[in-house]
Amino acid sequence: MKMLLSLIALLSAALIANAAPPTCYSRVLSLSKEITESFKELQTSKAVDSCVEMLPSLYLDIHNYCVLAKLRDFVAYPRCERVLEVSELKEKARSLYTIMISYCRRDLVFLTDDCSALENPVLPPIEPSIIES
């Protein structure tokens, strides 16, 4: 009986821990990843409009202070208003910018201000898959 009660208490604690609301940092991190992935999908989609090819690159590193200028530039880019996916992406970028400069202003720590790192990101190497071995 004690074992069953201990198990129930442990599972309850795990559920409560997972039910905690996201922090500012976790929200900014997840939204930046979502925006970066959406941008990659937009550029590789078959129905790429010519204006999409002209969009500024959008690699986001929330630990780099230059990300704020990058977001501002992307949102202010004057072309592609007629492409729905670009408008949606700009709205997400605007939301991220607003969250970073107002709601999470005190919670974020910028580790660098290297703007060139956002233009030419050094991505981690892709591990070979098990299938290729």
* Span 92-104, pLDDT tens digits: 999 999 999 888 8
DSSP code of 51? Answer: H
Q: Is 17 inside any structural domain?
A: no
In a domain, 115, yes or no: yes
Number of folded domains in the chain? 1
Spatial contact of 52 and 83, defined as CB atoms under 8 Å apart: yes
| Torsional sign, CA 42, 44, 46, 52 | positive
Q: Residue 8 falls within a domain, yes or no? A: no
What predicted TM-score, i.e. pTM, was given to this entire model?
Answer: 0.70
Question: Is 4 among the domain residues?
Answer: no
Looking at the chain, the number of H-run helices and the number of E-run strands are 6, 0
Which structural domain, as residue segments, surrounds residue 82?
23-119
Rounded CA separation 72/67 (Å): 9
Mean pLDDT within 27-32: 91
Q: Give a yes or no: residue 99 inside a domain.
A: yes
pLDDT of 21 over the 90 cut: no
Does residue 131 belong to any structural domain of this protein?
A: no
